[in-house]
């Protein structure tokens, strides 16, 4: 980081990736966590309830990061779809309004989005400049989220929507839920295994955010995804190899659909093929520490 700034306001920071940002940036910023919990301090992090006067901290803040939104790891019932949309739109609108009204505008507003905004593809030529939007629920969810984010003009505040691929780390659900499955011999390909599997290692996730903060030329929508594509089949194969598990019984698509009411996970999250190059990061000389799935999983699964 080049400059230490007074405040970093983090909305929706109580989950896995929010905690990653807190641990990384706590040495550089006074972090203010917007929460539904009671205002106070926890582990030297200031927590402010949404109903309290958190707006006054905007004048001292140079960075806002909004991660708020219900997790997509659920069944896409009508009720959940509505909650997924409203939980994203409401917070983004509130922060947009606060930024627009602030006397001293914050330097940067980063809003989460998803790599699932892109149309399903088995090719690897999509990036932030060349792509098609999808028509499925997750794609439309991210499209609506970004539309709300950009509809309020804030010329004094740089805006970036981070299109995040699944973040992999020792504590991520994608890893912790798979370890016992793989060790039990059920870690084969899911579906036909040909679907592209988007990912980013947690170290690159936080370092990429720092890079975006420091490089003021970066704006608009940016892909946070490892630059080397992999398939679901290769992901599972690499996972087994690192854990020294020889047997990996596949899970066919129909079984994922049949079991979704037990797993509470929509099969399309696993079966949809997604990839889009992180061209903006690469063009501004961001150097990924974990470019490949082998590198990412080797670091994550050591001693497992």
Could you report the per-residue pLDDT of 175-209, keeping only the tens digit for each? 999 999 999 999 999 999 999 999 999 999 999 99
Q: Which residue has the higher pLDDT, 44 or 66?
A: 66
pLDDT at 3 over 80: no
- The answer to whether 117 and 139 are in contact (CB under 8 A) is yes
Mean pLDDT of the chain: 94
Q: Give the pLDDT of residue 278.
A: 98
Query: Three-state DSSP class for 23?
Result: helix
pLDDT at 97 over 70: yes
Q: How does residue 58 score in pLDDT terms, banded at 50, 70 and 90?
A: confident
Q: Which residue has the higher pLDDT, 44 or 199?
A: 199
Q: How does residue 39 score in pLDDT terms, banded at 50, 70 and 90?
A: confident
**Mean pLDDT, range 84-94, rounded to an integer:** 96
Largest CA distance in the chain: 61
Element (H, E) at 202: helix 202-214
Q: How does residue 2 score in pLDDT terms, banded at 50, 70 and 90?
A: very low
Of the candidate ranges 53-67, 149-163, 184-198, the one whose mean pLDDT is the lowest:
53-67
Per cent of the chain over pLDDT 90 is 83
Q: How does residue 5 score in pLDDT terms, banded at 50, 70 and 90?
A: low
E strand segments, the chain: 7-11, 30-35, 40-42, 45-49, 61-66, 108-114, 158-164, 167-168, 200-201, 220-224
Nearest-angstrom CA–CA distance, 198 and 225: 7
CATH number for the domain whose boundaries are 7-169+199-227+275-289: 3.40.50.720
Other CB atoms closer than 10 Å to residue 225's CB: what's the count? Answer: 26
Of the candidate ranges 28-32, 160-164, 261-265, the one whose mean pLDDT is the lowest:
261-265
Q: Give the pLDDT of residue 4.
A: 52
Tell me which DSSP letter residue 55 carries: G
Other CB atoms closer than 10 Å to residue 265's CB: what's the count? Answer: 18
Instruction: List the domain boundaries for the chain.
Output: 7-169+199-227+275-289
Q: How does residue 14 score in pLDDT terms, banded at 50, 70 and 90?
A: confident
């Amino acid at each position: 980081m080049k400059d230490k700034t007074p405040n970093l306001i983090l909305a929706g920071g109580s989950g896995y990736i929010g905690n990653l940002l807190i641990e990384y940036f706590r040495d550089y910023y006074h972090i203010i966590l917007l929460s539904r919990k009671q205002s106070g301090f926890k582990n030297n992090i200031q927590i402010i309830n949404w109903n309290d006067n958190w707006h006054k901290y905007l004048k001292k803040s140079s960075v806002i990061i909004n991660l708020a939104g219900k997790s997509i790891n659920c069944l896409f019932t009508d009720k959940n779809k509505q909650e997924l949309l409203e939980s994203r739109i409401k917070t983004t609108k509130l922060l947009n309004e606060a930024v627009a009204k602030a006397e001293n505008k914050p330097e940067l507003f980063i809003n989460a989005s998803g790599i699932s905004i892109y149309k399903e593809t088995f090719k690897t030529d999509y990036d932030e400049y060349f792509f098609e939007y999808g028509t499925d629920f997750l794609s439309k969810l991210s499209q609506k989220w970004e539309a709300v984010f950009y509809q309020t003009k804030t010329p004094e505040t740089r805006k970036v929507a981070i299109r995040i691929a699944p973040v992999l780390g020792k504590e991520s659900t994608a890893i912790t839920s798979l370890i016992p499955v793989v060790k039990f011999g059920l870690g084969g390909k899911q579906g036909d295994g040909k679907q592209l599997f988007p990912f980013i290692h947690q170290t690159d996730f936080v370092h990429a955010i720092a890079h975006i903060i420091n490089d003021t030329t970066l704006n608009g929508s940016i892909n946070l995804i490892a630059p080397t594509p992999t398939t679901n089949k290769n992901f599972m194969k690499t996972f087994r190899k690192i854990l020294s598990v020889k047997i990996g019984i596949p899970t066919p698509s129909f079984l994922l659909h049949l079991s979704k009411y037990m797993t509470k996970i929509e099969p399309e999250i696993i079966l949809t093929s997604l990839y889009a190059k992180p061209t903006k990061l690469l063009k501004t000389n961001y150097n990924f520490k974990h470019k490949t799935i082998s590198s990412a999983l080797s670091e994550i699964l050591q001693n497992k």
